[in-house]
Chain A
Amino acid sequence: DARVTQTPRHKVTEMGQEVTMRCQPILGHNTVFWYRQTMMQGLELLAYFRNRAPLDDSGMPKDRFSAEMPDATLATLKIQPSEPRDSAVYFCASGLQVLASGANVLTFGAGSRLTVL
């Protein structure tokens, strides 16, 4: 089965350090999403790409977060500088969106668990 691959699976870092999370979407999928999951907030949408173009990053703190898709096989989420409140599980998901209907079934990666001390 095709998978979405995320690295690292776990990351512990100190406040102020830069964190980069990587995602390899499924080949042929035209959309990539980044979500953050916490107990308090649930699943928050951070960024959304279609055909590598950013469509929505309204849920992302712009001062410290950035998301890019340098090519079709790689999506990155960067936090600089990191803060303790960024501690969460970050999920990448990809899907093949049917533009006529908007239908877009997502396949999720296993997530990157980030702890900022």
Chain B
Amino acid sequence: SQQGEEDPQALSIQEGENATMNCSYKTSINNLQWYRQNSGRGLVHLILIRSNEREKHSGRLRVTLDTSKKSSSLLITASRAADTASYFCATDDSGGSNYKLTFGKGTLLTVNP
């Protein structure tokens, strides 16, 4: 079963604009990650945020985490056509000790030149 759920399912913007994607999850977590997938490729890790962190930055990426609402957001600033991809959040379940990672269904981001 999937823990995380991304919103929106699809997002289309113009180059230079900011893109915001959201992730909601169901159970308590230790960490939340965001991954990117280009068409026909495997997923690539972008950023990890721990449950005791509220915000994290990496280059043009900004991730926030609200554990009280069980939600996270990924902001990509000054988007480029090369940012076109699907973006997934992944969570581990802190309820057990095996820390299995489950993914949402993703947000398809299209950045138009």
Residues of A within 8 A of B (CB): 4, 33, 35, 41-45, 48, 50, 55-56, 59, 91, 93, 97, 101-111
Binary interface encoding of chain B residues 1-23 relative to chain A, with 1 for a CB under 8 A from any of its CBs, else 0: 11000000000000000000000
Q: Which residues of B contact A97 (CB under 8 A)?
A: 99
Beta-carbon nearest neighbor of A48 in chain B: B100
Scoring B48, B50, B88, B103 by chain A CB atoms within 10 A of each residue's CB, the highest score goes to: B103
Docked complex Cα distance between A58 and B26 (Å): 18
* B42 and A45 contact, CB distance less than 8 A: no
Give the shortest distance, in Å, between B58 (CB) and chain A (any CB). Answer: 13
In-complex Cβ contact of A111 among B42, B92, B105 (8 A):
B42
- Report the nearest A residue to B103, measured CB to CB: A43
Inter-subunit contact A104/B45 (CB<8 Å):
no
Contacting residues, chain A, for B105 (C-beta < 8 A): 41-43
Residue pair B45, A106 in contact (C-beta under 8 Å): yes
Query: A110's closest neighbor in chain B, by CB?
Result: B42
Whether B82 sits at the interface, judged by CB under 8 Å, is: no
Interface centre among A44, A45, A59, A91 (most CB of B within 10 A): A45
A50 and B92 CA atoms in complex are apart in Å by 14
Assuming A42-B104, A108-B43, what are 7 further A-B pairs, CB within 8 angstroms? A4-B42, A41-B105, A43-B105, A93-B42, A104-B31, A108-B42, A110-B42
Instruction: Flag if B98 contacts A110 (CB, 8 Å).
Output: no
Q: Which of A45, A55, A103 contacts B30 (CB 8 A)?
A: A103
Are A101 and B42 in contact, with the CB atoms below 8 A? no
Are the CB atoms of B98 and A56 closer together than 8 Å?
A: yes
Contact indicator B102/A101 (Cβ below 8 Å): no
**In the complex, what residue of chain A is closest to B3 when comparing beta carbons?**
A45
